Amino acid sequence: MFSLNLSRSSASFLRGEDLRVSSYRDPAFRSVSVTVCSGGRGEREKVKAAALVMDHVIDEVVDQKSAIVPTARIAPPRITSSLLGASLLREDVEIFYGYWFVFCKNRLVQLSFSDIPILLDSGHSLLRDPRHNKGLAFTEKERDAHYIRGLLPPVVLSQELQEKKLMNTLRQYQVPLQRYMAMMDLQERNERLFYKLLIDNVEELLPVVYTPTVGEACQKYGSIFSRPQGVYISLKEKGKILEVLKNWPERKIQVIVVTDGERILGLGDLGCQCLPITIDVGTNNKKLLDDEFYIGLRQRRATGEEYAELLDEFMSAVKQNYGEKVLIQFEDFANHNAFVLLEKYSKTHLVFNDDIQGTASVVLAGLVASLKLVGGTLGDHKFLFLGAGEAGTGIAELIALEMSKQTKSPIEECRKKIWLVDSKGLIVSSRLESLQQFKKPWAHEHEPVKELIDAVKTLKPTVLIGSSGVGQTFTQEVVEAMASFNEKPIILALSNPTSQSECTAEQAYTWSEGRAIYASGSPFPPVEYNGKTYISGQANNAYIFPGFGLGLVMSGAIRVHEDMLLAASEALASQVTQENYEKGLIYPPFTNIRKISAHIAAKVAAKVYDLGLASHLPRPSNLVEFAESCMYTPTYRNYR
């Protein structure tokens, strides 16, 4: 007898040529037992199974032994293909959470996906499945084998020619949002071609699918919404979030990006908008509530206990459904929730806040790289921030941490070299009682200063960093003041999108007479000044979070440690070449983002192993090569 103990209370009958499988529901709805017997004779027979089921490897199951299939689901597909050389009826195959089993010669055999040429019931369905569709790249043999003969024009195009054709089309669009919509349309019909375009043309297309264009797409998402991507969890799903997560077809989830939409980029409360998993608790944006095309809950935002309970249920359901090692990336939560959630769940889950930690890591990398141009160490510099929210305080804390490690000084002493300005002026000790908790470490002894320009003139910082989300706040007077007491002032205008940038690249170079070391959150074109071309860098989180996440996943990290963020910063800074420095760049070009991400992943994974927080053992001998082998490759696969 062979038993599969399934945690979902559903099962179906399977029939083989001379093999019968019966099943029943456990009365307590805790498990389902599937018993395999010889067809017709009712005799028990040894059945062997070769299977890889989630994290449990089953080499052989014989007689009274059991195989545990975590949270398994039975969903019979409809296929007519010949598998493993055995002619099978459609009901001869079952899928258990993404793993295929077939009865062949009295054996229950688990098939890898490479054994299954196609998972669909018709060629028509194949052409509408973005995961497997290749468009006109299907070969003559594939068109016959998978019933798509006559459903496509006769020409066969290579993926490279498809890419060339689509890039020509995209370049004809004059409006960035039109390009964004065209790219999203491509993703919905042909995923691999979408990612190949993006990888091969990253510098041209990243501003289309990411900042700055994604900001406009978020604002208009209800109007341009065509097909849902990801999971939407609202207050209506309270009490059944686990069931909602089980509706998502992919089972081996390693990374989740989640938002509640309250602080999208620098755009504010956009409610239920455009990220893979959206926690919809309402919106306080009256314009959206009055918009007939808005796709989210039409109510004011839930707060307090109601909000906390929904997030608790979500975090618990994620761990229950996907396991302990799934990485949860918090994205665009408002300040009053972001710090609380990160502090709370970092002790129990593998969590990462891109706005706090990702931004901090990428900015620290730029500062470390800039030292090659200005000299000295971090401890030799004085920092002034405009903006004391998630990004500002997160960056400040990571700078202080790195400074402390370099100088062997207490972190409290290092914080004294870092000053922050918020909407009420310079953060000083006389304001301590009224400050939010995350701002209090930055309240230093100083007389009150209301305006940024006065803080610049008084403190004379060597580094000016903007994370305010308010455009044009680095005025000509501010930049000229920075240039008056710094030979090479470091000016980082980080706010996104472009319209919210504290100053443009042209303004920074012109007002500093070409002496500024400048980087921004969104891209700016090259600047001509006094016969010289200046190319500004982009302090974009996209440098960090892909490689950082890969490093955590490939090492099987169980928690995020601050030293991993420092490792990511150092890895990114090390990728800046002498040629980049000669152009005034403090970040490497995005053209090399795959190589950059592999190096970041390797350094992060190394730190995970060094700290004893890795669960994937043994440690790979070459982490860079291992990272590259783990990366997604968008080239088309051949179908048998």
Contact 235, 280 (CB under 8 A): yes
Contact 342, 351 (CB under 8 A): yes
DSSP state of 521: S
- If you average pLDDT over each of 30-44, 445-459, 538-552, which comes out highest? 445-459
Task: Report the pLDDT value the prediction gives residue 295, as an integer from 0 to 100.
Answer: 82
| 371 alpha-carbon distance from chain centroid | 30
The pLDDT of residue 28 is above 80: no
Q: Stretch 104-130: mean pLDDT, rounded?
A: 56
Render pLDDT for 494-511 as a digit per residue (tens, 0 to 9): 998 788 999 999 999 999
Residue 498's contacts (CB-CB under 8 Å, 6 or more residues apart) are 211, 212, 522, 523, 524
Residue 205, CA distances (Å) to 96, 164, 176, 266, 383 in order: 38, 14, 10, 21, 33
Q: Stretch 180-195: mean pLDDT, rounded?
A: 94
Q: Stretch 82-111: mean pLDDT, rounded?
A: 36
What residues form the annotated binding site for (S)-malate? Answer: 263, 496, 540
DSSP state of 105: S
Place of tokens 């891209």: 523
The pLDDT of residue 63 is above 60: no
For 265, other C-beta atoms within 10 Å of its C-beta total: 21
The pLDDT of residue 274 is above 80: no
Task: Report the pLDDT value the prediction gives residue 326, as an integer from 0 to 100.
Answer: 92
Task: Report the pLDDT value the prediction gives residue 523, as an integer from 0 to 100.
Answer: 87
Task: Report the pLDDT value the prediction gives residue 525, as an integer from 0 to 100.
Answer: 92
Comparing 407 with 107, the larger pLDDT belongs to: 407
Task: Report the pLDDT value the prediction gives residue 216, as an integer from 0 to 100.
Answer: 86
Global pTM reads 0.78
Q: Stretch 41-64: mean pLDDT, rounded?
A: 29
The pLDDT of residue 69 is above 50: no
Comparing 311 with 223, the larger pLDDT belongs to: 311
The pLDDT > 70 percentage for the chain reads: 79
The pLDDT of residue 92 is above 90: no
The pLDDT of residue 266 is above 60: no
Comparing 80 with 487, the larger pLDDT belongs to: 487
Contact 484, 453 (CB under 8 A): no
The pLDDT of residue 192 is above 60: yes
Q: Stretch 568-575: mean pLDDT, rounded?
A: 98
Q: Stretch 337-362: mean pLDDT, rounded?
A: 94
Place of tokens 């696969």: 637
- pLDDT tier at 263, thresholds 50, 70, 90: low
The pLDDT of residue 352 is above 50: yes
Q: Stretch 170-179: mean pLDDT, rounded?
A: 95
For 484, other C-beta atoms within 10 Å of its C-beta total: 12
What residues form the annotated binding site? Answer: 263, 331-332, 355, 496, 540
Poorest-confidence range of 122-126, 189-193, 366-370? 122-126
Task: Report the pLDDT value the prediction gives residue 223, as an integer from 0 to 100.
Answer: 82
What residues form the annotated binding site for a divalent metal cation? Answer: 331-332, 355
Poorest-confidence range of 159-163, 257-261, 427-431? 257-261
- pLDDT tier at 520, thresholds 50, 70, 90: very high
For 133-149, give the DSSP string. --GGG--HHHHHHTT-T
Q: Please, what are the domains in the chain?
A: 3-115 (no CATH), 124-214 (1.20.1370.30), 221-323 (3.40.50.10380), 356-630 (3.40.50.720)
For 528-573, give the DSSP string. EETTEEE--EE--GGGTHHHHHHHHHHHT-SS--HHHHHHHHHHHH
Average pLDDT, the chain: 81
The pLDDT of residue 250 is above 90: no
Q: Stretch 266-293: mean pLDDT, rounded?
A: 68
SS3 string of 221-234? HHHHCCCCCCEEEE
- pLDDT tier at 54, thresholds 50, 70, 90: very low
Question: Residue 234 and residue 238: Cα distance in Å, rounded?
Answer: 7
Question: Residue 186 and residue 197: Cα distance in Å, rounded?
Answer: 10
Poorest-confidence range of 40-49, 107-116, 598-607? 40-49
The pLDDT of residue 104 is above 70: no
The pLDDT > 90 percentage for the chain reads: 63
The pLDDT of residue 573 is above 60: yes
Render pLDDT for 130-143 as a digit per residue (tens, 0 to 9): 989 999 999 999 99
The pLDDT of residue 328 is above 90: yes
Poorest-confidence range of 209-223, 263-277, 547-561? 263-277
